Amino acid sequence: MSFRSLSQNKHFKYGAPFLLAVVGGSFGLQVYSQLRYDIQKEKRVTTKTKEVQEIIAKSKSPTLEEEYEEYQKTVDINNWKNVRGPRPWEEGGENNEDFKKLIEKRANESKKGWVFK
């Protein structure tokens, strides 16, 4: 096949430029679409949020392990007593007295009032 016969072929004459435009256009648009998403991402992070992120990064928050170790030092988890809470239909009784004593003890120990540890 010669160049002249290829240039007269309808598939080559109209199809090749079309495929070239579709495939080449997708590669060309990739650059601009990526730029679009980068700009949108940059707009979301303003200077104020950057400052807040820096402050958060500088402040040291305790980890879960550190909190657990601190909790173990303050509370004796090996010696405890299971105290059943009072039921609405029960009046008085041994369980209610134990529950009331426990509540009063915890309220007195707490600095903030009725906060349980």
How do residues 24-81 score in pLDDT, each as one tens digit?
998 888 888 888 888 877 766 666 777 777 887 777 777 888 888 888 888 777 887 7
Residue 97 has pLDDT above 80, yes or no: no
Structure token digits, residue 18:
């079309």
Q: Are 84 and 99 in contact, with CB atoms under 8 Å apart?
A: yes
Cα distance between residue 28 and residue 36, in whole Å: 13
Can you say how many angstroms the Cα of residue 45 is from the centroid of all Cα atoms in its chain? 17
Cα distance between residue 92 and residue 104, in whole Å: 16
pLDDT band at 117 (very low <50, low <70, confident <90, very high): very low
Tens digits of per-residue pLDDT, 12-34? 888 888 999 999 998 888 888 88
pLDDT band at 104 (very low <50, low <70, confident <90, very high): confident
pLDDT band at 3 (very low <50, low <70, confident <90, very high): confident
Cα distance between residue 54 and residue 46, in whole Å: 12
